[in-house]
A = this chain, B = another copy of it.
Amino acid sequence: MVAPSLRARVRAGMIDEIKAVARRHLATDGANLSLRAVARDMGMVSSAIYRYFPSRDDLLTALILEAYDALGDAVEAADAGVDRADLRGRWHATCRAARTWALAHPAEYALLYGSPVPGYAAPEDTVAPASRPPLTLVGIIRDGFAGGRLDPPGAEPPEPVRSDVAELSALLAVDLPPSLLARGMAGWTQLFGLISFELFGRTNGMLPHRDEYFDHQTGLMADLIGLPAA
């Protein structure tokens, strides 16, 4: 690997700085990111930004990708920090990490999980990083089931749900009975529903003890899945 030229390094630094400034604007001004304001903050004229990002949407896409990666990192690190056998502890740590990241980066979370930007279509590259949190969650369930510490719930879902979920199970390469994977997906849905409700102000006022409420609600889903305590 050849050393990048000075020009290339300066360019990479500029791209990073633009993204950093844009992230700052995102945090203060919300989702309507202004290219001109970013340029002003950098002492540049707006057209100069187009040397680095072909359009505002491309800059947004870059921010979205990095946000997905940051969330994925946080979630996976939290899971990895708990004893592999402590399934319920891993579940709670994973859920909490997602919420903590979201509370620390509300604008970026809204970019990922809020209403899609009108003319904007998420490019293909986002699906892999976007699937890291749910994969972490089903990983916990897979470990429990493979280790014989997680009994599948009695009845399988009725057709055609059973086959749909079974196909998804094969696609994800997790060897789980559909009944169990369906419950895991319920936990996934619940997790981001909880975070969105809290962040978008749907539960404002009621429930003063938000941390504890969050833990209790994610615990209910752990119950539904059947995750045993450590």
Contacts and interface: CB of A to CB of B under 8 A. Distances in A.
Interface of A: 29-32, 110-111, 113-119, 122, 130, 157-158, 160-161, 164-165, 167-168, 171, 182-183, 185-186, 189-190, 192-194, 196-197, 200-202, 206-209, 212-213, 216-217, 220-221, 223-224
Contacts of A111: 115
A190 B197 CA distance: 10
B220 A183 contact: yes
Q: How many copies does the complex hold?
A: 2
Contact of A114 (B114, B190, B209): B114
A160 B118 CA distance: 41
B30 A119 contact: yes
Listed residue (A32, A164, A213, A216) with the most chain B CB atoms within 10 angstroms of its CB = A216
Contacts of A110: 115-116
A28 to B, nearest CB: 10
B160 A212 contact: yes
Given A160-B209, A164-B206, A189-B190, 12 more contacts: A113-B200, A115-B115, A116-B200, A160-B208, A164-B207, A164-B212, A165-B207, A183-B220, A186-B217, A186-B220, A189-B193, A196-B196
